[in-house]
Amino acid sequence: MAKKKSPSTRRKAPHVAVLAENIYEDLEAWYPILRLREAGVKVTVVGPAKGATYTSKHGYPLTADASMKSARAAQFDGVIIPGGYAPDKMRRHKEMVTLVRAIHGKGGLVASICHGPWLMAEADIVRGRKLTCVSAIKTDMVNAGATYQNKEVVVDGNLITSRTPPDLPAMMKAVLAFLGAG
């Protein structure tokens, strides 16, 4: 019979920020949120304003637990950047760019899918790195100094990227492995 770990020997659950803005791709936000929670990872949705609701491309709501102005890299073990057109809005928020850059700088997970690497490029963390993304922004990533690979998931150190919703299972398998969860 396996022994239960005492509270003092249990590992603290990882804590991941999932970024929110309008026009996000439904599955690219909700699939990671649900998989992370299922694996025991603490998830905080971070948007421009705490308590504000952001809508997906198809009108599905996502409410921010924290504002981008209050979120600090020290709180998180990683960040997930959903795709859709939300990353185009996210990269215009200095605080979101700073959060992504700071999490990356401390070696935390930075995972994104679809158009998410737009925010990674704005944070200047793709130069010299391998990644994938939706084909529509491939040239943007190459021009930002990244090496594009057309694969369902690309893991380059603490950067994990995928192309589109069908790649989410592979992406989340890599994310959970990085976090040591699930």
Catalytic residue among 15, 93, 104, 115: 115
CA atoms within 13 A on the CB side of 122: 20
Q: Are 45 and 33 in contact (CB under 8 A)?
A: yes
Residue spans of beta strands (DSSP E) within 13-164:
15-19, 42-47, 53-55, 61-63, 66-67, 78-81, 109-113, 130-131, 147-148, 153-156, 159-162
What is the phi/psi pair of residue 73, to 5°?
Answer: -55, -35
Instruction: Give dist(CA 143, CA 19) in Å, integer.
Output: 24
Instruction: Give dist(CA 127, CA 89) in Å, integer.
Output: 21
Contact partners, residue 118, CB within 8 Å, separation at least 6: 87, 88, 90, 91, 137, 140
115 is a catalytic site residue: yes
114 is a catalytic site residue: yes
Catalytic residues: 114-115
